[in-house]
Every structure is written in structure tokens, then in C-alpha cells.
Amino acid sequence: MTEKTVLVTGGAGFIGYHLTKKLLNDGYRIVSVDNMNDYYDPHLKEDRIRDIGNHGSSYVFIPVDIADKEALNQVFDQYQPDVVVNLAAQAGVRYSIDHPDSYIQSNIIGFYNILEACRHHPVEHLLFASSSSVYGTRKTAPFRTTDFVDHPISLYAATKKSDELMAYTYSHLYGIPATGLRFFTVYGPFGRPDMAYFKFANKMVKGETIQVYNHGEMLRDFTYVDDIVEGISRMIVCPPDENEDGDRYKIYNIGNSHPVKLMDFISILEKAIGTEAKKEFLPMQPGDVYQTYADVSELEKDFDFKPKTTLEEGLTRFAAWFKAYYHLS
């Protein structure tokens, strides 16, 4: 048990929901904020909050947009969090092509507001979500956190790289212990309907055709959400030590470190759902990448942890949740 208060932004989101449940179980007090936007069905977010349930004074949910600086500062003033886990962001690579404003508002302005709040309300540790998309079209694999990542090919990726740079600056100037987490294709129950596995499942059960990009020639390092949450929970109480420059800042990959071919992924999902998908093969989409592959050696070294859930296990659990949630036979 712990007396620490953790602020989870994006707390009604996919990872935020699972992390909140884990941290409540571990004895933390959780302050959860989310703007409940309609990028995907808000009812899913509402159901996540309902599923978390009533934990008395240990859990509070506040509908706040991190881009609203005054409202965010009021949360910091009132609850004085010891740790901040920033998961709030406008997600999605393809969506950023046509809706750039929302990415600047949430991922840049919103994260700047988080950094400013941590500056004026000192915290023990700031953890923030980055993304494997920062690696761009990198051809050498696995992807290492020491790799050159200055060529993002989507605005989403550019905002995540910007977050890393801003966090480093604030850590250096104001002594904020900060850890960035590059997530690799997170999936699982209560997931995001805009992601491929969820969209595929929806279309498969309706007998509709799924769109398979780059004619199926892609590799993805799919990471089950429980592994992501386990990694974060281990990091919370372990802010970075000072490096040779006196900075307390670190970036980690969190991925399964086992890329899977897209067509193999579809086959596993078909088996889990119990139906064969109709497929339409299309070219690569703008902003998309051929492969992702996480090197997690730093994660193993510092936290004795490596994601281990197989895709077969993870998609079976997702399919069971999906069928129950949507009342499918």
C-alpha cells in the first residue's frame, strides 16, 4: 500500500483505464482526467469509468482537457499529485493527415501545460506516452532508443518527438524527473475502435470487407496492454537517476520485441473471432510505416521486465471481451 497520489491524464482512454485499475489495486490514490472527446465513441470511455467503479476517496474522475491550462492547474492545486502519468493525447497516424489542429492542441499545447504544471507543482516523477511512430521509416531493426529519430513521417509522430524534446528541456531546466515511454502497437480488451485489430473484428462479425494496406506486407510489434501497464507500474516509483550531465531524464521502448507479419496477425484474429475475413488489398497509406520492432534491453536492464504476452493469448482475450461487450454469440 502507498499514500502516493498519481494523476493519470487520458484516464478514460484505453491504456489509462487499464493503468488506473492496476494502480488502484496496488494501493495508490488516483486522480483521473480526460476530455471525453468524440474521436471514437465516448460511450466506450464512459463504460470504462463505470467499470473502474467506486473506490471512495482513492479514486476521482474529473472531465478536464489538458489543453485548458486553468482547469488543469486547478487539478494540480487541489490534489497535489506526487506522480503524473500523461497518457492524454490525440492518437492516430492517419487521422493526423486531415485533422492536424487537434494534434497541436492536445499533444503540444496540452503537454506544455502538463510540463508547466509540474514545474510549478513539483512532482516526484513525470511519465509520459511517446510512440514507436517516432522511428519513422527506419529500415534497420530492432529500434533502439539511441537511434536517430529526426525524420517523422506523420504529424502525430512529430508531436510525440516534440513531447520528448520539451520534456527533456523542462527536466534539465527545472529538475523534473521525467521518463518517456515509446509504446509499440498496444492492443487488448476495452481497446480503441480506431485501431486495426478492433476495426477488423468489427467488420469481420458484420461480414464486411477489411482493408489490408501495403498488400499485407507489413510487420508490427503488437504489445498487450497488461504488459504496458506492468511496465509503467514498475517505473512509477523509480524516477531516472542523474546522468553525466545531471539530468534525470530517460526514454524507454515498451514493446513485445517480436514483430508479426500482418497476414499472420489477421489469421490469428480470424481464429480468435471465429470467422474468416473478406479482404481488400490496398497500397501503403500516407504516414504509415513498413515495420516496428522494439529493442527493450534498457527496460530489461533497469526494471527486470520484458513484455511476454503472445499475440495468440492477447487476441484470444480481446475476442472474448469483444463478444461479451457487444453481446455476440
Half-sphere exposure of 309 (CA within 13 A, CB side): 22
Instruction: Provide the residue range defining the domain that includes 76.
Output: 5-188+224-255+294-308
Strands in the chain per DSSP E: 5-9, 29-33, 59-62, 83-86, 125-131, 178-183, 186-187, 209-212, 219-220, 223-224, 249-254, 260-261, 278-281
Q: Are strands 260-261 and 219-220 parallel, antiparallel or unpaired?
A: antiparallel
Task: Give the model's pLDDT for residue 94.
Answer: 79
145 is a domain residue: yes
Q: What is the pLDDT of residue 329?
A: 67
Q: Nearest-CA neighbor of 185 among 291, 44, 304?
A: 291
Please classify residue 51 by burial: count the beta carbons closer than 10 Å to its beta carbon, then call 0-12 exposed, 13-18 middle and 19+ buried.
Answer: exposed
Asked if residue 204 is part of any domain, the answer here is: no
Per-residue pLDDT of 38-92, as tens digits, reads 999 999 999 999 999 999 999 999 999 999 999 999 999 999 999 999 999 988 8
For residue 276, being part of any structural domain is answered with no
In this structure, is residue 44 part of a structural domain? yes
Residue 286 within a domain: no
| Whether residue 196 has pLDDT greater than 80 | yes
116-158 residue pLDDT tens: 999 999 999 999 999 999 999 888 889 999 999 999 999 999 9
Choice among 45-49, 229-233, 280-284 with the minimum mean pLDDT: 280-284
Whether residue 86 is contained in a domain is answered as yes
Q: Please say whether the beta carbons of 303 and 231 come within 8 A.
A: yes
Q: Which residues are catalytic?
A: 156
Mean pLDDT (whole number) for 98-110: 93
Q: Assess if residue 326 is contained within a domain.
A: no
CA distance 278 to 6: 44
Under DSSP, is residue 97 helix (H, G, I), strand (E, B) or coil?
A: helix
- Structural domain count, the chain: 1
Domain assignment present for 127: yes
Q: How far apart are CA 89 and CA 105, in angstroms?
A: 9
Q: How far apart are CA 27 and CA 211, in angstroms?
A: 43
What CATH number corresponds to the domain at position 171?
3.40.50.720
Structure confidence at residue 2 as a pLDDT band (50, 70, 90)? low
